[in-house]
Structure 1
Amino acid sequence: MMARLLGLLLLASLLSACSPRLLLVRGVADELAAQGQAEEEDLGLAREAGAFYLKLSESLLRQTPGHLALAESVAGGFTQYSYAFVAFEAERLDGRDARAAQLLRQRAARLYQRAQRHAMTALELHHGGTLLKALQAGQPLSALPALPPEQVGLAYWAAASWGAAISLSKDRPEAVADLPTVQRLAELAWMTRPEHGDGALAGLLGTLEAARPGGSSARAEALFAQAIAAGGGRNAGVYVGKAESLAQPAGDRAAFEALLRQALAVPGNSLGNQVMRVRAQWLLDSADDLF
């Protein structure tokens, strides 16, 4: 696969005619988008290969910014890489080297912002540059055009990366002020496909609802229940999300640990589940410090 992609890229660099070159770039973009959807079961290999894949994909996306599948793959890739290998490492370092942890958090925030920019650029191109303004205007979501199904994944990664960046920028009021827009974007996607990502989208909304000032804990509970049902026991992340968003803030250690054990029991070696099982075990090991 990689040899084929490199060969196509080399050929693309030798072409000077605009139209054939653009067609070839789009072909490579299709290949990279498909590759980005493939699961990598080895966490170490994912970390080592991630930077190369992201840079290569990003360079193609700049030439085809409206390519929805590639934009979704790039935004998801940057978000997952930052969460799994940068932000999480910062948390684990915090008690031993506060300075190094802070530098990692700053890097994680920049990677999340990069993911958000790619995702929102592609969405704006497909909405004539009006989507962000409409979300910020505070109109009822029912008054906005429905999000097409093929854009739900991209909107999910836009909201997830944006929300993650805000969580690392709590000392910047202008960043925190964007939280309602993030939630509205996630809500718009949820209205089209509430079960997206084996419950990942509903879980994201549950986290946002629990985090926002004046948020409804009852609605957050309902969203996490929907996320768990949509996941059908296949998504470790929804259990970890509920543990950290609802059980931990409520001081309910029994529920916190029960949810994390459910995450550990989720079968399968998808990259996402592996990352979440590692996090679940770390949170269980840290429970004495958290409660």
Structure 2
Amino acid sequence: MLVGIGLSACSPRQLVVGSLADELASPALGNETDLILLRDAAPFHLKLSETVLHQQPGHRALAEAVAAGFTQYAYAFLAFDADRIEATDAGAAERLRRRAAGLYARAHRHAMTALEISQPGLTAVLAGSTPGGTLHIEPAQVGLAYWAAASWGGWISLSKDEPDVVADLPQAIRLTEAAWRVDPTWGQGALSGLMGSFEAARPGGSPVLALRYFDQAIRDSGGTGAAALVAKAEGYALPGGDRPMFEVLLRQALAIREAAGSPLAVQNEVMRQRAAWLLSKADDLF
């Protein structure tokens, strides 16, 4: 009798939490192009989403949304700001990068927890601690794997003085490759672009292979995404010393105009701002 009472008391709460998780998993802020408003609104939305995720850690869609939100906030509002103020206030830039690294790490933990819940043993296989284990990503997990890997890459890039973090780069690459094999066109080129960025960044990486991934990302974006163009400019043209290509790609990114209500609206606005900033720094970069 007492068990029955307990279950009946818990059920409404579980239903409410589950319903809230479903709602928070939807891209509520995804079409907002006012980045100042978005920057102000995002922390509350992220904290609420994270709180609900703690109650529903296996909710794949919410885990993906939380990992994406923390990763995008770290990139757009912390790491990018750090780049912009580096020349005038190196101390403040370093503090912003430490905050960004922390949020990338947080995003990564949420995404990996959800992946492990949905596929027990995945983390051990990824780390190579399961002899003979094969890393396999299900189609429904590709988005979660992307944000786990993208946040991991951001965390690693800002942790040059932490060898234990940097040493995980091969795992981040393996996770990206496993997702890419399942759905190489995921995210309108986002996954191919991440493959290109990792190939360009890893020790001994092939610029030729990185270029193939960047070009595939641009094709997959169908001319509607600025991120693939900026990724190629920073990941291929800049390290290759090709200023004409660098500037052409960034001007193409600036010219991108998405349709009203596009899910790429926020991303494109961030990347247009980055493209403009990179163009303004071209004399210093080359």
- 1:284 corresponds in structure 2 to 279
- 1:137 corresponds in structure 2 to 128
Residue 45 of structure 1: how far off its partner (Å): 1.1
Q: Deviations over 1:108-153 (max 9, x none)?
A: 000100100100000000111x112111218999x73532221111
Corresponding pairs, count: 275
- Calculate the aligned-residue CA RMSD, in Å: 1.9
Residue 97 of structure 1: how far off its partner (Å): 0.7
- 2:65 corresponds in structure 1 to 73
Task: Give runs of aligned pairs for residues 29-44 of structure 1, distance below 5 A.
Answer: 29-36=21-28, 38-44=30-36
Runs of 4+ in 1 over 4 A off after TM superposition: 138-141
Amino acid at match of 1:276: M
Quick check: 1:147–1:188 contact (8 Å CA) kept in 2? yes
- 2:189 corresponds in structure 1 to 199
Counterpart CA distance in 2 for 1:24 and 1:139 is 39
User: Of 210, 231, 252, which aligns to 1:220?
Assistant: 210
Are residues 1:45 and 2:37 paired? yes
User: Of 253, 273, 282, which aligns to 2:268?
Assistant: 273
Amino acid at match of 2:219: A
Q: Deviations over 1:228-275 (max 9, x none)?
A: 110011110011011111110111111111111111111127000000
Are residues 1:112 and 2:128 paired? no
* Bigger relative CO (Cα 8 Å, ≥ 6 apart): 2
The TM-score normalised by the length of structure 2 is: 0.92
Change (3 A) 1:38 1:282: closer
Are residues 1:153 and 2:143 paired? yes
Amino acid at match of 1:231: S
Quick check: 1:237–1:273 contact (8 Å CA) kept in 2? yes
Counterpart CA distance in 2 for 1:48 and 1:217 is 39
Residue 36 of structure 1: how far off its partner (Å): 4.3
Counterpart CA distance in 2 for 1:251 and 1:24 is 55
Gaps of 5+ in 1: 1-15
- 1:7 corresponds in structure 2 to none
Greater alpha carbon shift after TM alignment, 264-273 vs 196-205: 264-273
The TM-score normalised by the length of structure 1 is: 0.91
Gaps of 5+ in 2: 1-7
